[in-house]
């Protein structure tokens, strides 16, 4: 059984990896929270808010805790889900699809939410994974400042490593609030990204079967 799906090198190198400094993990979560609290207090003061007001005075602490432990919790290595795989004893050889996995992330350009759904599939190469672990992988990589393309690739690469197979696919359909609530303010549009690996990329029939299961009629080359 595979008890882990990658190492922390995935955070530092390559186009699909989160761009972090090499000293990113030297401070504890508590130390990071204290620093963010201080600076967010200054941001609020700079905006002209009265930081003695009962409704506002604890906001920097709440924001700092939320940033470090919740919405950017995927930047804490200790939050990486432990992934155990199991032998495919029942010899299931078709694709497994988990669709409509909730995605909550934040774009790294404006730090506004990305909200959508991920559809993930794999074909066993001898190992299988608990269904909830797929959700946990999606959630772990979503809880970072992200671009949707990178997030899609990270999910696929993590599952490929965990399952020791190339046959993995992921589609994400999400709304970006940096588009919906600022700039062009287009509230109707969403963004679709896909990462197809192994047979999902090379076999058109397998690819179309996956698209059929997740309700997408797009033709992905």
Q: Which residue has the tokens 């963004």?
A: 191
**164 Rama class: left (phi>0) / alpha (psi -120 to 50) / beta:** left
* DSSP calls for 91-138: ---SEEEEEEEEEEEEETTT--EEEEEEEEEEE-SSEEE-HHHHHHHH
> From the candidates 98, 178, 181, 209, which is the catalytic residue?
178
Q: Say whether 181 is catalytic.
A: no
Spatial separation of the C-alpha atoms in residues 81 and 71, rounded to whole Å: 16
> Can you read off the two tokens belonging to residue 156?
């696929």
Burial of residue 23 (CB within 10 Å: 0-12, 13-18, 19+) is exposed
> From the candidates 37, 146, 148, 154, which is the catalytic residue?
148
The answer to whether residues 74 and 143 touch, using CB atoms and an 8 Å cutoff, is yes
> From the candidates 34, 110, 149, 208, which is the catalytic residue?
110
Q: Say whether 109 is catalytic.
A: yes
Number of H helices and E strands in the chain, helices first, is 7, 7
Q: Say whether 39 is catalytic.
A: no
> From the candidates 16, 34, 98, 108, which is the catalytic residue?
108
Q: Which residue has the tokens 């299961």?
A: 213
Q: Say whether 176 is catalytic.
A: yes
Q: Say whether 110 is catalytic.
A: yes
> From the candidates 37, 107, 146, 154, which is the catalytic residue?
107
Spatial separation of the C-alpha atoms in residues 48 and 53, rounded to whole Å: 12
DSSP state of 86: E
Catalytic residue set? 107-110, 148, 176, 178
């Amino acid at each position: 059984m595979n008890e882990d799906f990658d190492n922390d090198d995935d955070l530092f190198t390559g186009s699909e990896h989160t761009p972090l400094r090499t000293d990113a993990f030297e401070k504890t979560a508590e130390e990071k929270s204290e620093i963010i609290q201080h600076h967010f207090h200054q941001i609020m003061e700079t905006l002209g808010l009265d930081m003695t007001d009962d409704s506002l005075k604890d906001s920097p602490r709440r924001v700092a805790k939320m940033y470090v432990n919740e919405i950017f919790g995927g930047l804490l290595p200790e939050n990486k889900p432990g992934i155990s795989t199991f032998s495919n004893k029942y010899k299931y050889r078709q694709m497994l699809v988990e669709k409509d996995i909730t995605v909550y992330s934040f774009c790294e350009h404006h730090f506004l939410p990305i909200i959508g759904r991920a559809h993930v599939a794999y074909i066993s190469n001898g190992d299988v994974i608990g269904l909830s672990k797929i959700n946990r992988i999606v959630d772990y990589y979503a809880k970072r400042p992200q671009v949707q393309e990178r997030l899609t690739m990270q999910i696929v690469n993590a599952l490929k490593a965990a399952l020791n197979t190339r046959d993995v696919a992921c589609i994400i359909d999400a709304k970006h609030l940096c588009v919906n609530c600022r700039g062009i303010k287009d509230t109707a549009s969403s963004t679709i990204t896909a990462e197809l690996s192994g047979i999902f990329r090379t076999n058109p029939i397998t690819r179309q079967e996956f698209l059929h299961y997740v309700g997408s009629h797009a033709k992905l080359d």
